[in-house]
Amino acid sequence: MNDPARKSANGELIRLERVTKRFGDHTVLDHLDFSVEAGKHVTLIGPSGSGKTTILRLLMTLIKPDEGTITVDGDQLFPASEKQVREVRKKIGMVFQQFNLFPNMTVLRNITEAPVTVLGLSKDEAEERARDLLELVGLTDHVDKHPAQLSGGQQQRVAIARALAMRPQVLLLDEVTSALDPELVAGVLDVLRDIARSTDITMLCVTHEMNFARDISDQVLMFDSGRVIEAGTPEKIFSEPEHDRTREFLSAVL
């Protein structure tokens, strides 16, 4: 399971093989295969209910697949011991639609909490890291505020900084602008564009922001009913989609 040779075999960081997930008698993911190479930015698009968020939740080990295997950096997620799962989770950061910040903590403490408690950083190291990240997300003036004193866009940028503070190998982004007022969306997407450009982090995004997907993605996967029906570069998917369902979906959202 932890064979280092496998990790560097082809630069693959995430692999799903024949992953099936059912809720009751509803098959949400149906023998799904796909992989993401280290450092790449992959975007999942497709109609609501097609299983995109379920994939991110599986990778975060919030839910388990019914069949199939998922590996992250060569380590299998299911079955795995609690300890192995904890190790894999350190490699993954996630930002949700709802920002899920700790309301009773300052911005700084929201970002330093996990690096101190989970990674064992000293308070000073964690604060230095947090301040660098707050600069990256444009919030240096807000370190001592509480989440309720910030706009939704600012809160989401704190959530992004909080995820990055764990120095994950992969950042999962689940419709991170869907809960925001329209005028706050661009600021968050600009921060993510910067991160995509200036870091080597692997990104797996679920988004309805097609221009953003076009800008940052190395690969776009079009989902329908729990399957990838079409995959390719943003140029190919957005300009020359092959599948009727892709064309229909894009004409509805663009």
Between residues 32 and 126, which has the closer beta carbon with respect to ligand ADP?
Answer: 32
Between residues 24 and 120, which has the closer beta carbon with respect to ligand ADP?
Answer: 24
Per-residue x/- track, 9-48, ligand ADP (CB under 6 A): --------------x----x-----------------x-x
Interface with ligand ADP, residue 51, by CB under 6 A: yes
Interface with ligand ADP, residue 245, by CB under 6 A: no
Given 15, 40, 41, 52, the residue binding ligand ADP (CB under 6 A): 52
Q: Candidates 49-57, 94-102, 116-124, 233-241 — which segment interacts with ligand ADP by CB under 6 A?
A: 49-57
Q: How far is the CB of 22 from ligand ADP (least distance, A)?
A: 9
**Within its chain, how far is the Cα of 176 from the centroid?**
9
Between residues 235 and 248, which has the closer beta carbon with respect to ligand ADP?
Answer: 248
Which of 6, 140, 178 lies closest to 75 in space, CA to CA? Answer: 6
- CA 125 to CA 79: how far, in whole Å? 35
Phi-psi region at 11: left, alpha or beta (left = phi > 0; alpha = psi -120 to 50): left
Between residues 46 and 234, which has the closer beta carbon with respect to ligand ADP?
Answer: 46
Encode 152-190: b = buried (16+ Cβ within 10 Å), e = exposed: bbbbbbbbbbbbbbbebbbbbbbbbbeebeeebbebbbe
- C-alpha distances (whole Å) from 89 to each of 8, 62, 66 are 19, 10, 20
Interface with ligand ADP, residue 49, by CB under 6 A: yes
Interface with ligand ADP, residue 50, by CB under 6 A: yes
Interface with ligand ADP, residue 112, by CB under 6 A: no
* 17 burial level (CB within 10 Å; 0-12, 13-18, 19+): middle
Three-state DSSP state, 141: helix
Residues near ligand ADP (CB under 6 A): 23, 28, 46, 48-54, 206
